[in-house]
């Protein structure tokens, strides 16, 4: 099966604390984290600049910065329940996940690192699945496992649970929306225990103690597609959460597979619609295995950083530049490229202003390089 040739990096203990501090600080998401490190050279340097940047961005109140002591406590508490915090390129960080542009800088991994490095297929679907849907998910997950793939899913009721269970013996990955000590739904703590006992994994980008809220589930779904070569949607009504996973998969360049159903069955409305939109129709595991084989041959492409001209790091944007950029932004998402063109200021300055706004809690980042004011 797949052999990755990525250079394996390894953070020092001090770096890991810096990274965790930065990603756990207010208004810092994975994209901001990357921008900050690109601009300032290291998480430590970025941390020192956070208050100033947020102030320049017009923060009403400067967000909380995670302290070194808090980061150390999270690392220690994680270790006690068998969870390690791994960075892209480190052992246990699913290699494909590192290729998405909002990859978590640190991923909380439970279980041995080896299975998390294997090729994965996401299998997701309705919580209130039909008997046929559950049976199909089982067969599919079993056959994918036999073919050497780890089955990634969301530990939800219905299709997700059926897929995890059928892949226990061959390896399965539960992708959590909350912290490792806040399993949802609670009745699947047993299933999670079975997954770990069998040598599988669970991952989360959230801190311990984080109770998953509604908005964390779509955010989590990008990780299910992110770790995988492709995602199979087994049963999904219109507007089902599984369709969000399919949308992420598309944006991430992952294969999207969908299981068809009768047009008279509302539980197939979402999957049939996906096939109309170009998803591959799946009736058996071989359809998936055949489709992803050529993708596994290609080397992984890590996202390029944002190269900045040396010396622009510390130059504060001029007030009129900042005003022009803020004036162009509004509640509707605007492309970064368009913004740079319209603002007529150097790209590095635009990115710096966006960082300031983001750290001030005034900017929202969307997929595909789109930004809007909050």
Neighbours of 276 (CB within 10 A): 9
How far is the C-alpha of 94 from the C-alpha of 40, rounded, in Å? Answer: 27
Among the listed residues 249, 261, 257, the one whose alpha carbon sits nearest the alpha carbon of residue 225: 249
Compute the least distance from the CB of residue 71 to a copy of itself, in Å: 48
Q: For residue 210, what are the CA distances in angstroms to 156, 179, 189? A: 17, 5, 16
287 near a copy of itself, rule: CB under 8 A: yes
The answer to whether the Cα torsion of 256, 222, 305, 349 is positive or negative is positive
294 near a copy of itself, rule: CB under 8 A: no
CB-nearer residue toward a copy of itself: 53 or 137: 137
Compute the least distance from the CB of residue 276 to a copy of itself, in Å: 5
How far is the C-alpha of 126 from the C-alpha of 262, rounded, in Å? Answer: 16
Compute the least distance from the CB of residue 285 to a copy of itself, in Å: 11
Compute the least distance from the CB of residue 282 to a copy of itself, in Å: 7
CB-nearer residue toward a copy of itself: 294 or 311: 294
CB-nearer residue toward a copy of itself: 161 or 288: 288
Tokens for 327, please give them.
């004036």
Q: How many residues bind a copy of itself (CB under 8 A)?
A: 22
By rule CB under 8 A, what string of x and - marks binding of each residue 123-162 to a copy of itself? ---------x--xx--------------------------
370-373 and 334-335 as β-strands: parallel, antiparallel, unpaired?
antiparallel
Compute the least distance from the CB of residue 133 to a copy of itself, in Å: 8
Phi, psi of 231 (to 5 degrees): -125, 135
Among the listed residues 137, 91, 80, 99, the one whose alpha carbon sits nearest the alpha carbon of residue 115: 91
By rule CB under 8 A, what string of x and - marks binding of each residue 257-286 to a copy of itself? --xxxxxxx--xx--xx-xx---xxxxx--
Is residue 27 helix, strand or coil? coil
By rule CB under 8 A, what string of x and - marks binding of each residue 159-198 to a copy of itself? ----------------------------------------
Compute the least distance from the CB of residue 281 to a copy of itself, in Å: 5
Among the listed residues 229, 228, 212, 236, the one whose alpha carbon sits nearest the alpha carbon of residue 159: 236
Largest Cα separation within the chain, whole Å, is: 62
CB-nearer residue toward a copy of itself: 33 or 136: 136
By CB under 8 A, name the binding residues for a copy of itself: 132, 135-136, 259-265, 268-269, 272-273, 275-276, 280-284, 287
């Amino acid at each position: 099966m797949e052999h990755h040739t990525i250079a394996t990096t390894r953070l020092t203990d001090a770096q890991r604390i810096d990274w965790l501090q930065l990603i756990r600080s207010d208004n810092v998401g994975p994209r901001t984290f990357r921008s900050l490190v690109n601009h300032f050279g290291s998480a430590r340097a970025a941390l020192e600049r956070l208050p100033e940047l947020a102030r320049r961005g017009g923060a009403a109140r400067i967000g909380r910065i995670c302290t070194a002591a808090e980061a150390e406590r999270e690392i220690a508490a994680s270790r006690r329940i068998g969870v390690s915090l791994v960075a892209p390129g480190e052992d246990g960080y699913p290699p494909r996940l590192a290729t998405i542009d909002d990859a978590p800088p640190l991923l909380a991994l439970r279980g041995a690192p080896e299975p998390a490095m294997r090729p994965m297929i996401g299998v997701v679907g309705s919580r209130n699945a039909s008997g046929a849907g559950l049976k199909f998910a089982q067969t599919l997950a079993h056959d994918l496992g036999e073919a050497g793939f780890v089955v990634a899913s969301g530990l939800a009721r219905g299709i997700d649970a059926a897929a995890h269970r059928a892949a226990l013996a061959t390896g399965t990955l539960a992708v959590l929306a909350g912290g490792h000590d806040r399993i949802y739904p609670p009745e699947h703590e047993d299933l999670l225990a079975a997954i770990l006992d069998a040598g599988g994994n669970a991952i989360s980008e959230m801190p311990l103690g984080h109770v998953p809220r509604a908005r964390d589930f779509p955010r989590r779904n990008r990780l299910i597609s992110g770790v995988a070569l492709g995602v199979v949607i087994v049963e999904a009504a219109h507007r089902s959460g599984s369709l969000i996973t399919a949308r992420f998969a598309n944006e991430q360049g992952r294969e999207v597979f969908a299981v068809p159903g009768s047009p008279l069955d509302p539980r197939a409305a979402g999957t049939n619609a996906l096939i109309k939109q170009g998803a591959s129709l799946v009736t058996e595991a071989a359809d998936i295995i055949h489709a992803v084989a050529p993708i596994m041959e290609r080397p992984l492409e890590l996202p390029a950083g944002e190269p900045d001209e040396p010396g622009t790091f510390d130059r504060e944007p001029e007030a009129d530049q900042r005003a022009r950029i803020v004036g162009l932004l509004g509640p509707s998402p605007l492309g970064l490229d368009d913004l740079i063109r319209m603002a007529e200021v150097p790209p590095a300055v635009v990115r710096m202003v966006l960082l300031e706004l983001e750290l001030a809690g005034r900017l929202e980042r969307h997929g595909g390089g789109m930004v809007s004011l909050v």
